[in-house]
Amino acid sequence: MDKKINIGIIGAAGYTGGELLRIVINHPNVNIAFAHSKSQIGKPVYATHTELLGDTELTFSGEDIQTLLNQESLNAIFLCSGHGESKKFLDEYNVPETVKIIDLSTDFRDESNGFTYGLPELQKEKIKTSTKIANPGCFATSIELAILPLANAGLLKDDVHVSAVTGSTGAGQSLSATTHFSWRNNNLSIYKAFSHQHLTEIKMSLKKLQAGFDKAVNFVPYRGDFTRGIMANVYTPYSGTIEEAKELYKNYYAEHPFTHVSDSPIDVKQVVNTNKCFIHLEVHDGQLLISSIIDNLTKGASGQAVQNLNLIFGLPEDAGLRLKAPSF
């Protein structure tokens, strides 16, 4: 296909902005109209995202944002600024109705303001006809993909328990006491136990498939001493066999190109730098244990955003997203 989509990126100097640039520079159907950054105006993109040296001569835009948005050829924008910034952006600037919006913040994941929650494995057909997408959170993506097949079959009968660990890039590019190498290296800690912000969207998604679900999702998040990736281990009561569980999951994800059920145990490095989610299932004494792994910056953020772009514009869902994992 030779269709070209002209896109702009707001907040292009951060982790998700950089990951998005890395993907779309090599996307056969995308042209980058602008990459905007308040802090890096006029500088080469490769000066900030150093791995892109030799891949692009693009510079960070310093023009007035409204002027950039008013380009007649512009088809879509990605909002990659911090949480809370997207609402401010849309209040301050007029985005033409012809320009699709894909927001990577938490601001509209409740599907307010006309946004569609952008988890393709949950509501692909709705995404295809939407003009505004709220990209899911990284923990939420991993956890939802672990349990959506159960909800779809009405099999969530009791509390769901989640223990999940994420890499340091999940905290964003701004430095804090818990992101410095000297603190994070050779260390492990929990944070926001039972109160993480992604719980809201997880529960919303489950109720889309199993309206009567009213049990607790007990979520304990961990900070890992690695850079990127998420592993979520989820368990809940289950009365079926392992064979039935595998069939249920494989059938649910049969039409989704990035989520795969593995018969062998999984590890994070298998999906780092890809848009894939791998799932492994085990049954233990009436409990179904679901392990789910993703890259928090790709399937958990920028890769999924491009997946949504592909769906909105009628491109193959995997266009530009056949990315290689490091493996070792």
Which tokens sit at 190? 């929990």
> Which is nearest to 104 in space by CA: 173, 8, 16, 200?
16
Instruction: Please state, as a whole number, how many other Cβ atoms lie within 10 Å of the Cβ of residue 96.
Output: 11
- Provide the b/e sequence for 19-45 (b: ≥16 CB within 10 Å): bbbbbbbebebbebbbbbbeebeeeeb
What string of DSSP letters covers 49-60? SGGGTTT---B-
Q: Is 138 part of the annotated catalytic residue set?
A: yes
- Would you put residue 229 in left (φ > 0), alpha (ψ -120 to 50) or beta? left
Q: Among the options 7, 101, 138, 266, which is catalytic?
A: 138
> Which is nearest to 233 in space by CA: 152, 158, 287, 165?
165
CB 155 within 8 A of CB 163: no
CB 181 within 8 A of CB 204: no
Amino acid at the residue 30: V
> Which is nearest to 97 in space by CA: 135, 51, 132?
132
- As a whole number of angstroms, the distance between CA 282 and CA 108 comes to 35
Q: Which residues carry out catalysis?
A: 138
